[in-house]
Amino acid sequence: MKRSKLPADIFLIHAHQDRDSVHKLYQRLLRDGMHVWLDVEDLQPGQDWQNEIRNALLKSDVVIVCLTKQFDAKKGYRHEELKLALEKSKLLPDDEVFIIPVRLEACDMPDSLGHLHRVDLFEEGGYKKLLRALRKLTAMK
């Protein structure tokens, strides 16, 4: 399947400690027809990884912030990604959804995302809710 024919550009922000569960989400979204960017899948050897991540995030239609207890536990580039996503969201119309907080487990939300409604993937129907929102967003693009 050619990626250019997929309906949306979705960027996943996550803690590297959560790589396995985020990769499962990535694969599930791909199976459901979404175009998802994930560093471990899309970065190529020799690329300037910070530049590539920045470009992918800025070009994305939606950013999913994958939240777990590990997300705020340590420093990491994910915090820079989140800052960049929040900056981009400020440039968009107030009613446009750009960042979707997705909790992979019961955990606190970062203060910077407290104004946004989240979806909990660990609850029944959580993934369906996320997919419905993504499909609605892609239909508008």
Q: How many structural domains does the chain have? A: 1
13-30 average pLDDT score? 96
* Residue 111 CB partners (closer than 8 Å, separation 6+): none
Q: Which two tokens stand for residue 89?
A: 């969201």
95-123 average pLDDT score? 95
1-17 average pLDDT score? 69
In this prediction, residue 1 has a pLDDT band, given cuts at 50, 70 and 90, of very low
With a cut of 90, say whether residue 103 has pLDDT above it.
Answer: yes
* Inter-residue contact 99 to 86 (CB < 8 Å): yes
- pLDDT for 76 equals 86
Enumerate helices (H) and strands (E) in the chain, giving the number of each. 5, 5
CATH classification at residue 126: 3.40.50.10140
Residue 41, domain extent = 3-140
With a cut of 50, say whether residue 7 has pLDDT above it.
Answer: no
Gap between the Cα atoms of 59 and 135, Å rounded: 18
With a cut of 60, say whether residue 140 has pLDDT above it.
Answer: yes
Helix (H) or strand (E) holding 102: strand 99-103
Nearest to 38 by CA among 26, 24, 25, 30: 26
Helix (H, G, I), strand (E, B) or coil at 59: helix
pLDDT digits (tens, 9 = 90+) for 22-69: 999 999 999 999 999 999 999 899 999 999 999 999 999 999 999 999
What end-to-end distance do the CA atoms of the chain give, in Å? Answer: 20
